[in-house]
Amino acid sequence: MGISLKPGVAAPGLRDLAQRASGGNRQAQLELGIRYEEGQGLPVDLERARKLYTMAASDSGGTMWIYSPSPGGGSPARVLPVDRPVVHGLDEAKRRLRGMIHEAR
């Protein structure tokens, strides 16, 4: 996420928040985006906030196609559908992202 983790530079708890955000935790992405947008323990960086809001707002899941190579016994390779549950992005992240886009105009 590009956060300085040097002692005395990052606010307490920021390292854990950044690690969770990097790991795909949508709530952590939203919280870190808010910190960047509002300058809470970090310098204001609207571009980083926008990127974090975009990740937190994105929907994921649905059908994913997986290539399965031939096991070697003469069977043809195939592509198999795998259905993953749909996980919706966070509404608060979507709202903040819309606000940033609206303000940029």
What is the model's pLDDT at position 41?
87
User: For residue 38, which of 53, 22, 49, 23 has the smallest C-alpha distance?
Assistant: 49
pTM: 0.73
Average pLDDT on 79-88 reads: 93
What is the model's pLDDT at position 11?
66
pLDDT digits (tens, 9 = 90+) for 33-82: 999 999 998 999 999 999 999 999 999 989 999 998 887 767 888 999 99
pLDDT digits (tens, 9 = 90+) for 90-103: 999 999 999 998 77
In the predicted model, is pLDDT for residue 32 greater than 80? Answer: yes
Average pLDDT on 3-10 reads: 56
In the predicted model, is pLDDT for residue 8 greater than 90? Answer: no
AA identity, residue 80:
L
Residues in CB range of 38: below 8 A, 6 or more apart: 44
What is the model's pLDDT at position 6?
56
